[in-house]
Structure 1
Amino acid sequence: MRKHFVSLILLLASIQVYAQDVAPKRQVDFWLDVLGLKGVLFGIGLAVFAYAYVNSVKLFAWIDDQTYGTRDYILKKFEIMFIEVDPNKITIGLLIMSFGMGILVFCILAFIGKLLLGTIAGIAVLIAGWKSPRPIVDYFEARRKKKYQMQMVDALNLLANGLRAGLTMPQAIGMVVDELPAPVSQEFNLVLQQAKIGVPLDEALENLKKRVYTEDNEMFVTSVNILRETGGNLAEVFDTIVLVIRERVRLQLKIDTYVASGKIQAYIIGAMPFAMILMFGSGDPDYFPLLFGTVLGVIALIVICGMVALGMWIIMKIINIKV
């Protein structure tokens, strides 16, 4: 099988060398004359099959990661955020966001006579719906983590006051669970439940650090585990961590104020091309058929969207300062 495949490649290569003597504008006609339309299509199909066969393991691994892998990724993130959902509903939602929305956009534009634009827009919506679930879930997880960080000051104050009042560490954690809202109460409640079923407290706290990995959490868990082994005043350590967190939050808010103008510039840059399209289009409606109804116009739109997205991404990377 491999020998036949190599022979076919050599045959096609020799024909290509011979075809170099033909004028570039007539090379397509040359291939059609030599192989015929079916032969050209067969050659393209054979090349695609050969590539898929050689890279079949990587291809199937990629397909699995983009389908079941995406669903499992979302389910894992939902479990971290204490959200219960049926896996079948996740699968249906992913199909609707990708294929469902893509087919819907294609059908709407094709119905009004924009077949080319409908095809390109449908594929774009399909790809966007296929790729967007992970970033969306990551956004909500990051927002939850930020809320958790803001609640850590109150949680550590309660822990410090509880320890000064003579409570044990599990009892102080229980006070945090009772007094504070989610998400910090959810995370500390899980630590408490794990400790009640026999999981060592240091291991339960390590699990907390893995679920919600932040610098504040790492300081908190490391301090508790070390001082529980060596001995020390946990209340004073918690007070020190609270001061560090407050100073970091103050500095982060100050930086956010300084980079706010950069974010506004990014939004203006992103909106300006589309605003100009609407402005010129409203003044001369003949621009719209040229832009949306021709191949060159659609390509120009794709290039515009790509460059706008690249510019916004670069600006966001520049102004994204971590404390």
Structure 2
Amino acid sequence: MSDTEYSLITRFSGAAVGAVERGIGHKGGRLFNRTALQGAGLNMTPAEFLVLLFSGAVVAGLLGFVAMGPLGAILLAMLVPVVGWMVLSLRTSKRRSSFEAQLPDLLMTLSGSLRAGHSVMRAFDSAAQEFEAPMSEELSRIVNEARVGRNPESTMMEIAQRMGSEDFSWIAEAILINREVGGDLAQVLDQVGETIRERAEIKGQVSALAAEGKISAYILVALPIGVTLMLGLINPTYIGTLFTHPLGIFMLVLAVIMLCIGSFWMSRTVQIKF
């Protein structure tokens, strides 16, 4: 690709992102907003992500039109936002799990730094340099926002809400209470860390027991979609009747509705709240 073509593509994509951003605002919409992207660890604006989804939908629609005709194009194009949402959900879940797994070590590091005579912000800064992502990213956010004058506890509460971590909110509350009434913060963090480790052990046992149900749910949801796509590529004429005959279209709509209901029911069944 020449420099001129690359420049034109860059200019066009920049104009598209700017137009989308003017339409949805800086924070984005409800589904693919800035908070959701930050929770998934994506350094993208909502407008950039939506332009990426739109481009993917166009490409998928063209492939579906070639393979299965107009209805196939519509089906694959509509599937792209669903896949985008699934990718965000999976990345967010993985990032939250990694964050939760790092909390016990974080508390040990913080209590050690406090016993060595460091301040709370200095302890956070030191931990941000020692830990890997996502913990390092979130701790750096706390330190950077504290440097510009924001209350660290407020930042920590926002991180706890974005990461879905009740344990991290306990750490924020412990620091806030210690700042108001005083006391040995290192000892308090040790007690919080012991509680978090016990909760993590219980969560691990429950996750192991629910793993079989989750895998079964993933397979049952992916199986009809995968079979449909495979038949559409291998024998478009055979599967094309479902997209052209009124009865076939009714059966497809009914299958999608039943698949959505079954997916929701299975997700509620294997989801354990603590």
Partner of 1:296: 247
Q: Which runs of 5+ in 1 are unaligned?
A: 1-63, 279-284
- Aligned partners of 1:153 and 1:242 also within 8 Å: yes
Amino acid at match of 1:97: G
Partner of 1:248: 199
Partner of 1:150: 101
How far 1:225 moved relative to its partner?
0.5
How far 1:261 moved relative to its partner?
2.9
Match of 1:173 among 100, 108, 124: 124
The reply on whether 1:238 has 2:189 as its aligned counterpart is yes
- Aligned partners of 2:129 and 2:136 also within 8 Å: yes
The reply on whether 1:84 has 2:43 as its aligned counterpart is yes
How far 1:135 moved relative to its partner?
4.5
Q: Secondary structure at the match of 2:132?
A: coil
- Could you tell me the percent identity over the aligned residues? 26
How far 1:86 moved relative to its partner?
6.3
- Aligned partners of 2:98 and 2:134 also within 8 Å: yes
How far 1:70 moved relative to its partner?
4.2
Where do 1:73-112 residues align within 5 Å? 73-79=32-38, 83-85=42-44, 89-106=48-65, 108-109=66-67
Partner of 1:141: 92
Partner of 2:268: 317
How far 1:157 moved relative to its partner?
0.6
* More deviation, 71-80/119-128: 71-80
For residues 152 and 222 of structure 2, the distance between their equivalents in structure 1, rounded to whole angstroms, comes to 52
- Aligned partners of 2:113 and 2:123 also within 8 Å: yes
For residues 165 and 106 of structure 2, the distance between their equivalents in structure 1, rounded to whole angstroms, comes to 15
For residues 273 and 85 of structure 1, the distance between their equivalents in structure 2, rounded to whole angstroms, comes to 32
- Aligned partners of 1:209 and 1:218 also within 8 Å: yes
Higher relative contact order (CA 8 A, sep 6+): 2
- Aligned partners of 1:191 and 1:201 also within 8 Å: yes
Where do 1:41-60 residues align within 5 Å? none
* More deviation, 236-245/292-301: 292-301
- Aligned partners of 1:205 and 1:221 also within 8 Å: yes
Q: TM-score, normalised by structure 1?
A: 0.64
1:98 and 1:146, CA in 2 relative to 1: closer, same or farther beyond 3 A?
same
How far 1:146 moved relative to its partner?
1.9
1:223 and 1:297, CA in 2 relative to 1: closer, same or farther beyond 3 A?
same
Larger Rg belongs to: 1
Say how many residue pairs are matched.
249
Partner of 1:18: none
The reply on whether 1:122 has 2:81 as its aligned counterpart is no
* More deviation, 145-154/81-90: 81-90
Where do 1:6-85 residues align within 5 Å? 69-70=28-29, 73-79=32-38, 83-85=42-44
For residues 159 and 132 of structure 1, the distance between their equivalents in structure 2, rounded to whole angstroms, comes to 39
Amino acid at match of 1:90: F
Amino acid at match of 2:49: I
RMSD: 3.7
For residues 139 and 270 of structure 1, the distance between their equivalents in structure 2, rounded to whole angstroms, comes to 15
Structure 1 segments of 4+ aligned residues over 6 angstroms from their partners: 274-278
Match of 1:223 among 160, 166, 174: 174
For residues 222 and 148 of structure 2, the distance between their equivalents in structure 1, rounded to whole angstroms, comes to 55
Amino acid at match of 2:133: A
